[in-house]
Amino acid sequence: MMRSVSLIEATNLTKVFRRADKGPGLRGSLRHLVERRFVEHVAVDHIQLSIDAGEAVAYVGPNGAGKSTTVKMLTGILVPTEGDIYVAGRVPHRERIENARNIGVVFGQRTQLWWDLPVRDSLELLRDMHGMTQSRFDKSLERLDAVLGLSDLLSVMARKLSLGQRMRADLAAALIHEPSIVYLDEPTIGLDISVKDRVRAFARHLVAEGTTVLLTTHDLDDIEDICRRIIIIDDGRLAYDGDLESVKNTYARDCSMHFQLAAGAPVASVSARLPEATVTLGDNERELIVTFDRFALSTGSVLNAVLPDGEVLDVSISEPAIEDVVRKVYAGELRLGHSNGEAAT
């Protein structure tokens, strides 16, 4: 059935897993043999998703929030317990093979390379699986090589690769067939800074080329680098869906300035001059921290409020980051409103 509203469209998407409920120790295991008890765990709970072609969306949530389960349903690996999914008009788990031709998937914690074969052989096997002609394959490999630097990896057995090399090779394996939709599930997990940068540059490159990217990650630097839209899920439920910049403007307004002063910090007098801000002492009595709403106060006015009270040796400013919002959501401090496409205010 063709039904294309958005490229990726999920309504009431739900996955319930049944888990054995075993007591502790051998006794619990034995008891389970005669009296089988199970608990139901709702991993994904009535999620609505709508992603247009060419969008780059960050799918964020704490461990166990249901991110990977969602991706596995969107890719056709898992069958939803409830709800509908259409990816490019197809139901992924029913038309798994057809869907697989369209998509590229990277699971950061798993490799899709053949362990005992050189990387090139894995890529050639994928060429045959996707029915690519040799010339299209060569062109695609050349393109990937330019961004990922593959030439020195191609002849190496997958099991001999370092984690960073493996991730580069895995990205190539996931994208060799030039899919129009790419799911990146924790693509930077465990990688060092330089490889992370490379992976992010590659993801930006994909987005720039018009590929639709859904990125799940724990590393919030990934998000700001790559995506404009963010979807936060928590405990299987949608906590936020909207523009990255607006969520920052709405929920990450607090900016803080750290002052190193020559003498003891005048908390009371600065506080009196800046009633809208929170003024506290830092690690020592000569350090002053002013936390303020960046839309209510400017850094200049904060600076002016501190200068009359002492000699400033050093100033640093912490800009708000999406990380702060997400941390608050994870910690349960913030319940974001449901909104589609724009931030709740």
Partner 1 sequence: MTGQSLDARAAGRQFRAPFRAYRSMARMALRSLVAYPVSFVFNLLASAFGALAMLYLWRAVLRNGGSAIGFDWAHMKAYLLITFITGSLVSGYTDYQMAFRIRQGDVATDLVRPVDYQRARFAETCGFAVYEAGTAIAVAACAAIAFGGVPVPPLRAWGLFLLSALLVLPLRFGVVYASGLVTFWTQNYVGVQAARIALVTFLSGAFVPLGLLPEWLRLTADVLPFAGMASTPALVYVGHLTGRAAFTAVAAQAAWSVALWVLARAFWQRASRQLTVHGG
Count H helices and E strands in the chain, helices first. Answer: 12, 13
Pairing verdict, β 82-87 and 56-60:
unpaired
Under the criterion CB under 8 A, does residue 42 sit at the interface with partner 1? no
Task: Using the minimum distance from each CB to partner 1, give the nearer residue, 117 or 334.
Answer: 117
For residue 174, give the nearest of 217, 223, 212, 122 by alpha carbon: 122
Q: Using CB under 8 A, pick the residue from 3, 94, 110, 338 that binds partner 1.
A: 110
| Residue 194 binds to partner 1 (criterion: CB under 8 A) | no
Q: Percentage helix, strand, coil, to 5, in the chain?
A: 35, 30, 35
Nearest approach, Cβ of residue 164 and partner 1 (Å): 17
The residue within the footprint of partner 1, chosen from 65, 105, 144, 257 (CB under 8 A), is: 105
Q: Of these, 5, 30, 129, 313, which contacts partner 1 (CB under 8 A)? A: 129
Choices 100-108, 261-269, 277-285, 300-308 (CB under 8 A): range interacting with partner 1: 100-108
Q: Based on CB atoms, which residue is closest to partner 1, 49 or 100?
A: 100
Q: Does 117 bind partner 1 (CB under 8 A)?
A: yes
Window 148 to 167, contacts with partner 1 (CB under 8 A)? none
Burial class (CB in 10 A: 0-12, 13-18, 19+), 19: exposed
Whole-angstrom distance, CA of residue 97 vs CA of residue 101: 7
Between 126 and 261, name the residue whose CB sits nearer to partner 1.
126
Using CB under 8 A, which of the segments 62-70, 198-206, 229-237, 291-299 binds partner 1?
Answer: 62-70
Tokens 């994208």 belong to 175
SS3 assignment, position 189? coil
Among 53, 125, 156, 267, which residue interacts with partner 1 (rule: CB under 8 A)?
125
Nearer to partner 1, 187 or 310 (CB): 187
State which of residues 79, 146, 296, 307 lies at the interface with partner 1 (CB under 8 A). 79
Q: Which stretch in 92-100, 140-148, 223-231, 279-287 sits in contact with partner 1 by CB under 8 A? A: 92-100
Beta strands in 186-340 (DSSP E): 212-217, 229-234, 237-243, 254-261, 278-281, 287-293, 312-318
Is 96 one of the binding residues for partner 1 (CB under 8 A)? yes
Task: Name the residue with tokens 């709970």.
Answer: 45
SS3 (DSSP) at 292: strand
∠ CA 81-84-88, nearest 5°, is: 135
Nearest to 201 by CA among 136, 122, 141, 144: 144
Residues 204-233 that bind partner 1 (CB under 8 A): none
By the rule CB under 8 A, 330 interacts with partner 1: no
For residue 246, count CB atoms less than 10 angstroms from its CB and return exposed for 0-12, middle for 13-18, buried for 19 or more: middle
The answer to whether residue 108 forms part of the interface with partner 1 (CB under 8 A) is yes
Residue that has been written with the tokens 């129009």 in this structure: 180
Q: Is 297 in the site for partner 1 (CB under 8 A)?
A: no
Query: CB of residue 76 vs partner 1: minimum separation in angstroms?
Result: 7
Residue 133 or 345: the one with the smaller Cβ distance to partner 1 is 133
Q: Which residues bind to partner 1, rule: CB under 8 A?
A: 17, 63, 68-69, 72, 75-79, 96-98, 100-101, 103, 105, 107-112, 114-117, 121, 124-126, 128-131, 185-186
